[in-house]
Chains A and B, each alone.
Chain A
């Protein structure tokens, strides 16, 4: 059984490499390593460009898949340990696949005093995720950020790229529910 497993895994790996594809550890998204090439071409020769490259890579993939980091390491001639060190240092970078929707709830001081804790507990209760976690169906990732600089709209959250402010009561839950419903991928029934 184990051998069969390992065998089939190897086959998949080889196939994937042939097509420059790689099956990701979590989720079933394929990572297309070709996408990163133009970015490496554009930035690769300059110094101090690791962070911009990681940012662009994350824009592409939604997170930083380990194979992508390996490619970057080879091309920039930087040890993978250093790249891993930088990628894990900054809160903006993610090493795991994230939800289709990312909800960032601001817990900056102004938002905090105006009611962020209750927004957080409402989301926690409804989706059973804590800050930093993603729902099992990869629909929603919850994050807490410190100050989005929109304190006058406190408490404020960002769903994808939509800023929602002056949140009272269950407003935020409603916005999230609506967004997930509206963008649902039709099932194949």
Chain B
């Protein structure tokens, strides 16, 4: 019995504590270092933030270079697929065009809706000077985190919590700022919860991300009156984001209200960042 225990002890010692052949570090030391890093990273220490920003900026640059071949391959693959899909898109567009012609009849309703929304949106939402453009540097489709890296950071006064737009549509918010880069957490991510308003019913709700699936509306009353095609906008509640930034439209499936997003996240190259500091996103 004792001999067995000794064997296990020796095995653990030689595996974890002793530096093996050509190993420069002991495994245990590195494990402890990792735990320490996780701990330090969870604390918001300013000095460490600078080092972390430098490390992240460097790694992002490296990652851009290393992933260049796969990006090029993906580019060619996308181009080929695009060409093959041209005819199909043409047919779809033809049908869509026909449907749109029919929908022109409903333009009065849209005008009314537009008027209501204009009232809803604060004037400040229309100020273009507060937006800055950024390019998507890295778009790694992580299964655990739906996010991407953009090429502006603290150098352009970007701060955590700022809204990120694709064209004029809300797509996410800044969650990590480095000197020359920032991370955008997309609204499809599990950790994303955005206060929204649905028009024309004027219902407030929370848009909750679900990873690869479409985001859904939560915290709605039982009788909400939301219908397919109702538009979803940021509500500006709690002063987190500006009011009235378009997100998508409602689609009800099995009593779950999903939101079809206006922006296709696979096609994003440039984004706009709303630099206005709201009271809660400092």
User: Do they bind each other?
Assistant: no
Q: Residues of A with Cβ closer than 8 Å to B?
A: none
